[in-house]
Chain A
Amino acid sequence: MTLYLSFLVLIPLGAVVWKSQSNGWSAFWQQVRTPEAWDALKLTLTISAGVALFNLVMGTIIAWVLVRDDFPGKGAVELFIDLPFALPTIVAGVVLLSLYGPRSPAHVDIAFTRTAITVALLFVTLPFVVRTVQPVLIELDRDMESAAASLGASPFLIARRIILPNLVPAMLTGTGLAFARAIGEFGSVSLVSGNLPFHTEVSAVNIYNQIQSDNPVGAAAQSTVLLVIAFVVLFVLDRLKRWGVRRG
């Protein structure tokens, strides 16, 4: 099993890092810092961070509404909240363009803009925070809230001092996962962004273009940067999980 996984995962990823270093460290850095690649990287990280933070807020609100509120059609919402995970990313792109693209019936045409990248990333990362916060919220002991309320705490105070501290590890985990997913997203973004260099070209698209224009070293360099960032995020999340477990 380890052998199979080595041939499928470990050796290929190792080859990416190896290739990126094949002309030495300074050449690697040069490839990362070419104006087009560097711009793509900055754009990717900025938008992904914004998207992750927006998810932090909206995901928590959605999880709250799904757990504590009740309304007709909740079952359907509960089921289809996972649709962005099940839907192929290019279909996500087609879906967004059909309503917010050229010939938009809502007269909102965001195609080939940075807004489109943001919306596509919000779409594909939607379930992360919802699905990490929801189980914690379900398990949350309501006696504490009752106790606080009977002692005269306002709902705002209860939310801030009792509910929020319990949710923070889950909220951060979901946000981190959403960020890691966003920096690598290709299908939906490549379709809606138009991939204009220096304007709407993200890292994954930049890597793809470098592969197509036969610059494997540059593609590998940019890939290595994405890999390192994703692994750092996963490492921090792992630490966060242990910290959450230790705290009880």
Chain B
Amino acid sequence: MANALSDGTVAVRGDRRPVARYGLRFVALGYLLVLLAAPVAMVFYRAFQHGLGPVWSALTSSEARSAIEVTLIVAISAVVLNTLFGVGTALLLVRRRFPGRHLLDVLVDIPQAVSPIVVGLALILVYGKFGFFGSWIERNGLKIIFSLPGMVLATSFVSLPLVVRSVAPVLAELGDEQEQAARTLGASSWQTFRRITFPSIRDALAYGVVLSLARSLGEYGAVTVVSGHVIGKTLTLTLFIDERLQNFDQPAAYSAAVLLAIIAMGSLLISRRFRTRSRSVL
């Protein structure tokens, strides 16, 4: 079936050859079914096959509750750090020209290319007991590695680019005419940010924050290296899954996995909305 365009040419569509079209559709959807949809559906089935009750009790055991709490503390701290430094870094990168700007630009993207295990190792080597700053930190009675601060650092490391890379393009697209106008009219830089810049980057920032939160709640590799796995103290939900699996407690592991999967799906839906809205600003 060919569509005639207004200028009389014939639009070529995949549907000119239905065999090819259905073939490709079959291959693509079949692959997604086998690799993605069926396994995800299966984990939901396994978790809920005896109803909601077992899931609920698995997630409200004291160990699980503490894991949820630790996860929230670590993820929210990392997201707050990422939001503050992410917006700051995006402003610097887009609005200022300074020596070292290119270095900063490169630094922001590095975490994407680094294995989470390497992130953990890197933090241990610097902030651990025998690390560069470790002995100084210990002498001052602080503990970073094998406790919450290290987990926060690891989590902000891996989710570092998300806020910057969501906000920076919107800032660049906006230009700075309005900000300069506000300044000539006597607004302080905080006023300019709050009244002019922030409202225009709000949706892009929300998009970055949702992505960052989703990534932080689910971080495993980097956190497993620096956490020390103290049950009830430094066990996040992802580490809890691992720990339960090693104790052959599949139901609890499936329950926590399903909880994280639901959060991931929710964050996809929410972030999609913010992304569309932030693009419609431009």
Partner of A183, one of B32, B85, B107, B115: B115
A-B Cβ contacts below 8 A, count: 245
Interface string of A104-126 (1 = CB under 8 A from B): 01100000000000010011001
B113 touches A86 (CB 8 A): no
| Interface residue ranges of B225-277 to A (CB < 8 Å) | 225, 238, 241-242, 245, 253-254, 257, 260-261, 264-265, 267-269, 272
| Alpha-carbon distance between A146 and B6 when the two chains are bound, in angstroms | 13
Q: What is the interface of chain A mostly: helix, strand, loop, or mixed?
A: helix
| Alpha-carbon distance between A219 and B25 when the two chains are bound, in angstroms | 44
| Alpha-carbon distance between A216 and B264 when the two chains are bound, in angstroms | 34
The stretch from A26-34, A89-97, A193-201, A239-247 touching chain B is: A89-97
Q: Which interface class (under 10, 10 to 19, 20 to 34, 35 or more) fits A? A: 35 or more
Q: Taking each of B32, B40, B46, which has the highest tally of chain A beta carbons within 10 Å of its own beta carbon?
A: B40
The total of chain B residues at the interface (CB under 8 A) is 84
Which residues from B are CB-within-8-Å of A58? 27-28, 31
B225 touches A146 (CB 8 A): no
B126 touches A11 (CB 8 A): yes
Minimal beta-carbon separation of B34 from chain A (angstroms): 9
A184 touches B241 (CB 8 A): no
Which residues from A are CB-within-8-Å of B265? 80, 83, 86
The stretch from B14-22, B60-68, B178-186 touching chain A is: B14-22
A43 at the interface (CB under 8 A from B): no
A5 touches B89 (CB 8 A): yes
B48 at the interface (CB under 8 A from A): no
Minimal beta-carbon separation of B19 from chain A (angstroms): 11
Which residues from A are CB-within-8-Å of B11? 142, 145-146
| Alpha-carbon distance between A9 and B36 when the two chains are bound, in angstroms | 33
B36 touches A207 (CB 8 A): no
Residues A1 and B89 in contact in the complex (CB < 8 Å), given A87-B264, A230-B113: yes
B35 touches A123 (CB 8 A): yes
Minimal beta-carbon separation of B9 from chain A (angstroms): 5
A191 at the interface (CB under 8 A from B): yes
| Alpha-carbon distance between A99 and B38 when the two chains are bound, in angstroms | 8
Partner of A11, one of B39, B132, B225, B257: B132
A62 touches B42 (CB 8 A): no
Which residues from B are CB-within-8-Å of A158? 12
